Amino acid sequence: MERPLDILVVAACPFPYPRGTPIRILRTAEALLDRGHRVRVVTYHLGRGEADPRLAIARLPRGLGYRKTSPGPSIVKLVALDPQLAWILRKELEREPADVLYAHHYEGLLVASAARVGLRPRPPLVFDLHTLLASELPSYLGGLPSGLVRRWALAIDRRLPRRADHLTTVTDRIRDKLIGELGVPAERVTTVANGVEVDHFASVPPAGPIAGDRAPRILFTGNPAPYQRLDLLLEAFAKLAGRYPSAELVLSLDGDIAALRARIAALGIAERVSLRPAVPFAELPALLAEADIAANPRTDADGTPVKLLNYMAAGRPIVSFAGSAPGLVDGETALLCPDGDTDCFARAMLRLIEDRALAARLGAAARAHVDRSARWSRAAETLERVMRALVTPAPHREAARTPA
């Protein structure tokens, strides 16, 4: 029987936290713990919610004064937080070597790369790509020419991942881009798909008729970052409201919504849009149970948005732009629209309001799909296989840990 691995996770982000990257970090860590491995996490001083008590967590000092939890790049993170995180990671490795480093996002890759310079033994590094920089960076740097930002991001995508010994990706779409467009050897890339807590959403009833005079309800959950393209969802909903005035849009959000309020008012739909704070994960099934339709207006996502997996696990009929719905099939597990086509998005929402049999069929098919394919235990099994292939043979590792 192979001995457990000592895995040191580099999470250059709030942790735990109820959004995509931190959720993947937490769930993969829990699933690796369930397989008997030891898992440590080096992360920022920020977080929300409870981490698994089995995790050993080393954090930045809380006196840094940085409190931003929204996603995206930041000069403060790159200049102040990440160098300190690299120092903490180095100290952890000097105190107790790890079998493997598991770094998330580019900040984590940079932190891990810096921490292991000159280190003996030098643990292998697995870099987990939730998305490619060229897909997201233009939405964060809207003040700069998008073409220039995309070329800069593409250059980073082409060079930085090669610092890792192995790459794991959330979807085959990312893996195919790394191999086909960025020239990474196929044997150095493995897809480790996200899981979803299917059992957590088992209490959500199947989609059914919209009873009585109740307003049909469209739901979006997540953050209001520009890449989510809530501007397109609001535009599509305004078109829907023109044809179905009683429809209601519920936005359950974590983040600054001032710009959204202004856009909602400008579209004249304030009476039909409900802005709510994001709910804890424990309350998410109840929120999704209220939804007749779940919306995913993002147009460009190499990975699978966690919200989409939650929608599917809850059996909600989904309307999405095709560019952010890898694995979904139009007319089988969702209604998909060409990216940015708000007329199509409005028509698809109207279709699901009027054809509840179709809504029920799509919701049931989506739930069955994730029940078959999206399990964290499967992700951990694949990760373990990748990590064991990289780890130094046990006698060398044990000798390195023996005090002189």
Q: Are residues 226 and 151 in the same domain?
A: no
Work out the pLDDT band at 373, boundaries 50, 70, 90. Answer: confident
384-393 confidence digits (pLDDT tens): 999 999 996 5
Q: Are residues 207 and 350 in the same domain?
A: yes
258-297 confidence digits (pLDDT tens): 889 999 999 999 999 999 999 988 999 999 999 999 999 9
The domain that holds 181 is classified in CATH as: 3.40.50.2000
Q: What is the pTM of this model?
A: 0.82
Q: Are residues 264 and 326 in the same domain?
A: yes
Q: Are residues 144 and 59 in the same domain?
A: yes
217-250 confidence digits (pLDDT tens): 999 999 898 889 999 999 999 999 999 999 999 9
Q: Are residues 67 and 51 in the same domain?
A: yes
At residue 395, does pLDDT exceed 80?
Answer: no
Q: Are residues 326 and 394 in the same domain?
A: no
68-95 confidence digits (pLDDT tens): 887 777 888 888 899 999 999 999 999 9
Work out the pLDDT band at 1, boundaries 50, 70, 90. Answer: low
Q: Are residues 246 and 352 in the same domain?
A: yes
Q: Are residues 266 and 284 in the same domain?
A: yes
Q: What angle in degrees, to the nearest 10, is found between the helix axes of 230-243 and 342-354?
A: 50
Q: State phi, psi for 338 to the nearest 5 degrees.
A: -55, 145
At residue 185, does pLDDT exceed 70?
Answer: yes
Q: Does residue 260 lie within any of the structural domains?
A: yes
Q: Does residue 311 lie within any of the structural domains?
A: yes
Q: Does residue 48 lie within any of the structural domains?
A: yes
Q: Does residue 1 lie within any of the structural domains?
A: no
Neighbours of 103 (CB within 10 A): 26
Q: Are residues 258 and 131 in the same domain?
A: no
Q: What is the pLDDT of residue 176?
A: 94
Q: Domain range spanning residue 366?
A: 198-373
Q: What is the pLDDT of residue 254?
A: 87
Q: Are residues 233 and 289 in the same domain?
A: yes
Q: Are residues 276 and 298 in the same domain?
A: yes
Neighbours of 204 (CB within 10 A): 22
Q: Are residues 31 and 122 in the same domain?
A: yes
Q: Does residue 368 lie within any of the structural domains?
A: yes
Total structural domains within the chain: 2
Strands 6-11 and 38-43: parallel
At residue 252, does pLDDT exceed 80?
Answer: yes
